[in-house]
Amino acid sequence: MANPSLLILAGDGIGPEVMDEVKKIITWFDAQGIVSFDVSEGLVGGCSYDAHGTPLTDETMARALEADAVLLGAVGGPKYDKLDFSVKPERGLLRLRKEMDLFSNLRPAQCFDALADFSSLKREVVAGLDIVIVRELTSGVYFGEPRGIFVEGNERVGINTQRYTESEIARVARSAFELARKRSNKVCSMEKANVMESGILWREVVQEIHDKEYPDVALTHMYADNGAMQLCRWPKQFDVIVTDNLFGDILSDMAAMLTGSLGMLPSASLGLPMENGRPKALYEPVHGSAPDITGMGKANPIACILSFAMALRYSFSLGDEASRVEKAVEKVLADGVRTADLMGPEGGSPVSTGQMGDAIIAAMQASL
């Protein structure tokens, strides 16, 4: 039986640095005889533009479609700001999401006890926080037509179209309900049905899917602006939140900062099952390419490592192995190991990117 395949697209900025720590963990699993992967690598984003004049080649796109899972680091950087919109690094990531049909984006926001004081909110508000935002990823205002900048009369007009079909809403709703069944059996759907027709349709379809297929899951509806306020007021009232592409982009970044650091947060983008039953999937840290610290060994690799843990769980059904990685991260943090972004006001000596990865592997080794 062939090993499961992983395509690694480390990307730009700190992407290669944090991905190196994931590679160490992949090597560790192989050395222990637990699981082996067929790993290949490719370019995406600015590095792909530098090499090929495009942020994602057709060949790399084809390899992504064939792989059992794709791991991505980060894309972009200021050196690419003046490129034409069509070849900006981010277009490579958007193409991956669109052509792999990765419609369900899972963004966990978990606050480890050791980091509860790093949040801008009070410890009692965020300690123990463990929620997931399920964001629709391949439709909505980011993809709707017509779009563009046009001239009307004597001025320019920018147009983006919010568009959703029933089937697009239904499939991401099912993704959220299925996830809720594995957690606390509770979903909150967020939209703007009070002012947007797309929001009305969103609410109606989510409710229909619930009533017909998931009546055992508790479902509530909330306007997205109120949802933003409630995430700041008392985030632990939520468990799974499902929302559209635009609101999901905003709400998931807000939820991310409740945990204290973007460097801690993973994500999974899932599509429909392939012939082997595995979903098409791309895993990536929430943080960006951080050009200001690139090459300095200061990057926090935990988000990328936890993204790999999500791949173990959702693409390869290796829940025990995913938990081993996650518990090692929790142990290292509880022991006070910190990269520079996690240093509190008391100061101290931060560890490097590589030292954090090594500490996590040591914790995994100790768990055997």
For the annotated catalytic residues, the residue numbers are 142, 192, 225, 249, 253
Query: Which two three-digit tokens encode residue 329?
Result: 């991260």
> Which candidate, 334, 341, 317, places its Cα nearest to that of 114?
334
Residue whose pair of structure tokens reads 């022991």 in the numeric block: 335
CB 298 within 8 A of CB 339: yes
CB 149 within 8 A of CB 158: yes
Coil/strand/helix, residue 78? helix
Query: Which two three-digit tokens encode residue 277?
Result: 């039953």
Q: What is the DSSP letter of 115?
A: G
**For the purposes of burial, counting CB atoms within 10 Å of the CB of 342, is it exposed (0-12), middle (13-18) or buried (19 or more)?**
buried
**For the purposes of burial, counting CB atoms within 10 Å of the CB of 179, is it exposed (0-12), middle (13-18) or buried (19 or more)?**
buried
> Which candidate, 312, 300, 295, places its Cα nearest to that of 357?
300
Coil/strand/helix, residue 240? strand
- Residue 49's φ and ψ, nearest 5 degrees, are -65, -45
Coil/strand/helix, residue 135? strand
> Which candidate, 263, 277, 279, places its Cα nearest to that of 311?
279
Residue 199 CA to its chain's centroid (Å): 24
Q: Report d(CA 134, CA 136) in Å as an integer.
A: 7
Coil/strand/helix, residue 292? helix
Coil/strand/helix, residue 55? coil
